[in-house]
């Protein structure tokens, strides 16, 4: 896979260079939700291509905390100059600990950047295990806060499980963050860009699958039902279901890119970022909102 950060940065720069000469094109009307939809679209907000183009998460603690987003413009200079040039879909533990997943173009490690509830940042580095892909597309913290799932790119039949950095007492910034167990999926998934827990053993995931051969649709919203709560001692299995295609509406034609996902349990609202093709990445990329139908 070519470095996705470089690809997206080229898209944004090219779109910015021609934006002055472009005219806005009206969005096509939203199609009605089908009876098969588990989640119904209820609204959307513009997604900024620099700061909201990778992922998002709601933060429960402290109360009234703003939603957090990641994008190529949110990577600190001091992080990118050390090679960590791609940030994925973040998540927050229920105590307010905020976690961003990072990858780089070479090397045998991935990194999780953690902000404690008090505001202090720290970095937890994980050395790649045998057969582990370098990609660090997303993180999802279990409802009990102790375990963190993470995902690789491409066609996969597993998710990785780590002790939650900064929350699980077995973790320390100065030691290798271990991959302890695995979620084994009963159906392959492709190009998962984000997952979030909607319940103790249920994940909602956004897939950027461009082919549509796995589930009969491109860019699906997936649900993964786990056989048990994630833990650090035994693998658990995951049953995968495709719920619906994510919205693909823009004033431009071409390839959309689905990004991160967040389930806000305070409002029972699901949000998913979808980037528009071409120059419209600047004008009508959206964070879509859904509620359970």
Point out which residues pair with 57 in neighbouring strands: 68
261-282: string of b/e by CB count within 10 Å (b at 16+)?
bbbbeeeebbbbbbbbbbbbbb
pTM: 0.88
Band of residue 293 on the pLDDT scale cut at 50, 70, 90: confident
DSSP code of residue 11: H
The string of pLDDT tens digits covering residues 86-138 is 999 999 999 999 999 999 998 899 999 999 999 999 999 999 999 999 999 99
DSSP state letter for 266 = T
Task: Look at residue 26 in the predicted model and tell me its pLDDT.
Answer: 32
Across the beta sheet with 286-292, what order do the strands follow?
A: 39-46, 286-292, 269-275, 257-264
DSSP 28: P
pLDDT in tens, 148-179: 999 999 999 999 999 999 999 999 999 999 99
Residues β-bridged to residue 162? 148
CATH class of the domain defined by 4-19+36-292: mainly beta
Q: Where are the domains of the chain?
A: 4-19+36-292
Q: What is the pLDDT of residue 191?
A: 98
Q: Which helix (H) or strand (E) holds 44?
A: strand 39-46
In this prediction, residue 38 has a pLDDT band, given cuts at 50, 70 and 90, of: confident
pLDDT average, residue stretch 201-225: 98
Handedness of CA 63, 65, 67, 69 (dihedral sign): negative
- C-alpha distances in angstroms, 204 versus 34, 80, 163, 264? 19, 29, 20, 12
What is the distance between the alpha carbons of residues 187 and 202, in angstroms, rounded to a whole number?
Answer: 15
């Amino acid at each position: 896979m070519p470095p996705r950060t470089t690809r997206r940065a080229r898209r944004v720069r090219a779109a910015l260079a021609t934006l002055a000469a472009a005219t806005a094109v009206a969005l096509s009307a939203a199609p009605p939700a089908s009876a098969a939809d588990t989640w119904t679209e209820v609204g959307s907000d513009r997604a900024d291509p620099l700061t909201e183009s990778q992922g998002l998460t709601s933060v429960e603690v402290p109360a009234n905390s703003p939603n957090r987003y990641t994008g190529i413009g949110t990577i600190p200079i001091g992080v990118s100059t050390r090679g960590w040039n791609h940030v994925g879909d973040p998540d927050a533990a229920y105590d307010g600990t905020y976690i961003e997943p990072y990858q780089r173009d070479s090397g045998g490690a991935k990194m999780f950047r953690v902000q404690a509830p008090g505001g202090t940042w720290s970095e937890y580095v994980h050395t790649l295990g045998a057969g582990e892909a370098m990609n660090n597309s997303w993180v999802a913290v279990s409802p009990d806060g102790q375990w963190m799932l993470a995902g690789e790119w491409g066609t996969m039949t597993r998710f990785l499980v780590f002790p939650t950095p900064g929350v699980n007492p077995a973790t320390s910034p100065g030691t290798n963050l271990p991959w302890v167990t695995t979620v084994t999926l009963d159906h392959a998934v492709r190009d998962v860009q984000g997952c979030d827990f909607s319940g103790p053993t249920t994940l909602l995931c956004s897939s950027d699958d461009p082919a549509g051969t796995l589930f009969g649709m491109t860019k699906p919203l997936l649900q993964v039902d786990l056989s048990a709560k994630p833990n650090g001692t035994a693998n658990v299995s995951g049953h995968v279901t495709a719920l619906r295609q994510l919205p693909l509406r823009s004033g431009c034609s071409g390839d959309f890119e689905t990004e991160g996902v967040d389930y806000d349990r305070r409002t029972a609202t699901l949000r998913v970022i979808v980037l528009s093709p071409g120059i419209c990445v600047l004008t009508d990329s959206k964070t879509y909102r859904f509620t359970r139908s």
